[in-house]
Amino acid sequence: MNRQQILQLCMQELSNRRTQAQTVAYKNLMKARKHPEFLEIEKKERQLIFEIGKMSAFGGVPIEIQMKLDDIREEKNEILKKIGIHPDKLKPSYHCPHCSDIGYIDKVQCTCLKKIINNILMKESGVGKEILTDFKDFDENVATEQSHKETLLKLKKKFETYLDSFPYNTPKFILLSGKTGVGKTFITECLAKGLIDRGFLVSFVSAFGMNNMFLSYHTCFDDQKQNYMSALIDPDVLVIDDLGTEPNLKNVTIPYLHVLLSERSRLNKLTIVTTNLDAQEILTKYNERIFSRLCNKKESFRAQIVGTDLRLNPNK
């Protein structure tokens, strides 16, 4: 799915929500209109609003007229309560109180729209499952060695401070190195879940999947081309899982990885990379420029997790 298709799907979802809220309100109105006293007061209200409209076109509305309208509305609410309909039920009760399910506030995407987009992206992303882990489930005691526990706990604390201030006071890159099973992906998912809950767009991709997208981009010559890179550049947060497991495709992997990392850095977007490689191996497998992107202290937070495979812990 490209960006346009995802957005279309989201707008359809919002439109369904809006229609549903409006239908409920309309049904309640029809129910109220079965009562003659409601019809009567509604008619009075309409007439007065019409009068007020005329008056304001010709100067001003006297305060007593305005007060009369307030009285009528109060009486209308009383009637509604008497016939067992709460006055609020005549107004559509929108899913999102901020944007009334329109998806935008002053041309800026509302968090509800971001969430819908995110759900679709999550389904589209390499993970293919919904992340349910978060820091509430975090337990450093799954690790057996003391140093491993301490590293996990330190990372948790660090990531929680990022969560509180994101997108400010956070690095552009987080690089987590360590052997399989030491908790890199788990702790990354905890951070990602927190960011998703705060309404940010987070996308997951395996290094293998990312490499395939680079290849698709490289070999595509129609107007779909840009979509392959946009999917990686657009999200507020991109998680690249297991960097180093992808095959090195000549003229593809290294140059496009460099473009991707530079572009995300330029846009101040967080990229999280998990890898089995240590710094030296990153330098050897890729190049100086990619190494300095991922490993420079100014833009990047780097941590190495050392320990035994958590999944082998019998106490877990």
Sign of CA dihedral 267, 291, 164, 138: positive
10 binds Zn ion (CB under 5 A): no
Number of residues that bind Zn ion (CB under 5 A): 5
Q: What angle do CA 187, 178, 192 make, to 5 degrees?
A: 20
Considering only the stretches 27-35, 112-120, 256-264, 292-300, report the one whose residues sit in contact with Zn ion under the rule CB under 5 A: 112-120
From residue 291, give the alpha-carbon distance in Å to each of 79, 150, 154, 253, 282. 72, 27, 24, 14, 6
* Closer residue to Zn ion (CB): 110 or 231: 110
Which of the ranges 34-42, 102-110, 234-242, 256-264 carries the binding residues for Zn ion, by CB under 5 A?
A: 102-110
Least distance (Å) between residue 200 CB and Zn ion: 15
The secondary structure of residue 141, as a DSSP letter, is: G
Q: Which of 21, 72, 80, 110 binds Zn ion (CB under 5 A)?
A: 110
State both tokens at 225: 């081309």
Region near Zn ion per CB under 5 A, out of 16-24, 104-112, 216-224, 251-259: 104-112
Residue 271: burial class (beta carbons within 10 Å; 0-12, 13-18, 19+): buried
CB of residue 98 vs Zn ion: minimum separation in angstroms?
Answer: 5
* Residues in 59-98 that interact with Zn ion by CB under 5 A: 96, 98
| Binding status of residue 112 toward Zn ion by CB under 5 A | yes
The total of other beta-carbon atoms located within 10 Å of residue 19's CB is 12
Specify the amino acid at residue 132.
L
| Beta carbon nearer to Zn ion, 97 or 128 | 97
Interface contacts to Zn ion, rule CB under 5 A = 96, 98-99, 110, 112
